[in-house]
């Protein structure tokens, strides 16, 4: 592929890296990543992937920008209050890097549409804020054999893991089922430090970039946890794929996707 | 040294660091292992850093010639040290 002079200059810090080079940058420009939820986590993911020159970025989110989002959702700004988050994020991406084609899906991701959305993408980012979506994304990615990066944040704590088909446990292998409604507080009652979204979202973007480049080791089979108060990262080795997992096991009992009730909260 | 076959050429005198090395690297990645790229580069920072970066990435610097006009010509063999 021939880089324009502008692209050479824009991506010079990638191209000069031994593990990226022109071929790696070409892979990034040809890659397609879908970000489900462009809020706290999805914002930095979208921005770093756009800056990196991921050629096609899909963003799915049903919400509009609210003033209370702006403490952490850095893809949006005060002028965008009341605008669809996907439109606001698209503008942020376009301004940052015109090389990126953006596809927007302003809708709730459900069992009826998720397989259509994910099929065109190479890697999926879970940037959602509730357990029902997290289990739905996991189950759909297992079914469609798509790699994805899960993350969850709450207060001063964050965690992430990456699923690659055939290479480790899925989210359901570890967390089994969404918690009951009364076991978790609702989103608006739990806070999060905005910078937590930046820490964990940036790590999700890093996983997507490494997957596309085919370099290094992913968080497959590991959960990385971060405690901002003690400033500790822990890389916890996860058990191997669970043979009787309801979705990725040898005899899956989940054969159709499930929309759990939307009220539970897994962070922001 | 007159038996060196040059497979491609690139002029990086029109760009600044770090685009200098990036532009040379893009040209080198188009070649096969063992082929030779001729790079025209400016004296000063480029001539100090580009040959070193090429070697750091496992290529072999065959020759660096001062053209006596503020530019140098660098001949690099792709993957020559592996
Ligand atoms: Zn599983």
Between CA B33 and CA B16 the distance in angstroms is: 27
pLDDT on residue A2:
84
* B53, part of any domain: yes
At B8-65, the pLDDT tens digits run 999 999 999 899 999 999 999 999 999 999 999 999 999 999 999 999 999 999 999 9
Between CA B68 and CA A14 the distance in angstroms is: 33
* B3, part of any domain: no
CATH value at residue B54: 3.30.110.40
Write the residue in A3, A13, A18 that is nearest to B26 by C-beta.
A3
Report pTM: 0.92
Confidence label for A101 from pLDDT (cuts 50, 70 and 90): very high
Between CA A91 and CA A66 the distance in angstroms is: 17
Contact flag A21-B29 (C-beta cutoff 8 Å): yes
The yes-or-no verdict on residue A263 having pLDDT over 60 is no
The total number of residues written for chain A in this structure = 268
**Chain B residues with CB-CB distance to A13 below 8 A:** 18
Mapping DSSP to helix (H, G, I), strand (E, B) and coil, where does residue B82 land?
A: coil
Between CA A184 and CA A177 the distance in angstroms is: 13
Q: How many domains does chain B have?
A: 1
Name, in order, each residue with C-beta under 8 angstroms of B25's C-beta and a sequence gap of 6 or more. Answer: A15, A16, A21, A22, B57
Burial of A110 (0-12, 13-18, 19+ CB in 10 A): middle
Contact flag A23-B29 (C-beta cutoff 8 Å): yes
pLDDT on residue B64:
97
Across the range A52-67, mean pLDDT stands at 98
The yes-or-no verdict on residue B1 having pLDDT over 80 is no
Q: Does A1 touch chain B (CB under 8 A)?
A: no
CA dihedral A268, A171, A59, A255 (to 10 degrees): -130
> Does the predicted interface ipTM exceed a cut of 0.90?
no
Q: What fold does the segment set A31-237 form as a domain?
A: Rossmann fold (3.40.50)
Contact flag A21-B19 (C-beta cutoff 8 Å): no
CA angle A55, A56, A57 (to 5 degrees): 125
The yes-or-no verdict on residue A183 having pLDDT over 80 is no
| Known catalytic residue at B17 | yes
Across the range A211-219, mean pLDDT stands at 98
Among B13, B14, B25, pick the best mutation site for testing chain A contact (most A Cβ within 10 A).
B25
Range of the domain at B40: 11-77
């Amino acid at each position: 592929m021939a880089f324009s002079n502008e692209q050479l200059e824009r991506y010079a810090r990638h191209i000069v890296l031994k593990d990226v080079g022109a071929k790696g940058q070409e892979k990034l420009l040809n890659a397609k990543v879908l970000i489900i939820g462009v809020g706290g986590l999805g914002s930095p993911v979208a921005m770093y992937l756009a800056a990196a020159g991921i050629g096609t970025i899909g963003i799915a989110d049903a919400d509009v920008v609210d003033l209370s989002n702006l403490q952490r959702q850095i893809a949006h700004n005060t002028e965008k209050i009341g605008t669809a988050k996907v439109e606001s994020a698209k503008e942020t991406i376009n301004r940052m890097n015109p090389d990126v084609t953006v596809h927007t899906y302003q809708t709730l991701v459900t069992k009826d549409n998720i397989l259509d959305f994910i099929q065109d993408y190479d890697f999926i980012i879970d940037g959602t804020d509730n357990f029902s979506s997290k289990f739905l994304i996991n189950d759909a990615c297992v079914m469609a054999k798509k790699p994805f990066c899960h993350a969850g944040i709450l207060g001063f704590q964050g965690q992430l893991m990456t699923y690659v088909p055939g290479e480790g446990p899925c989210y359901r292998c570890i967390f089994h089922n969404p918690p009951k409604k009364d076991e978790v507080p609702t989103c608006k009652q739990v806070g999060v430090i905005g910078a937590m979204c930046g820490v964990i979202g940036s790590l999700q973007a890093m996983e997507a970039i490494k997957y596309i480049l085919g370099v290094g080791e992913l968080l497959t089979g590991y959960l990385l946890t971060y405690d901002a108060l003690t400033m500790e990262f822990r890389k916890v080795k996860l058990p191997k794929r669970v043979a009787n997992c309801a979705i990725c096991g040898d005899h899956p009992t989940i054969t159709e996707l499930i929309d759990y009730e939307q009220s539970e909260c897994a962070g922001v | 040294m007159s038996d060196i076959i040059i497979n491609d050429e690139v002029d990086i005198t029109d760009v600044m660091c770090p685009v200098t090395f990036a532009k040379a690297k893009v040209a080198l990645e188009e070649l096969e292992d063992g082929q030779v790229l001729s790079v025209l580069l400016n004296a000063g920072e480029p001539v100090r850093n580009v040959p070193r970066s090429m070697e750091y990435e496992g290529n072999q610097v065959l020759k660096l010639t001062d053209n006596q006009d503020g530019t140098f010509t660098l001949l690099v063999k792709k993957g020559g040290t592996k």
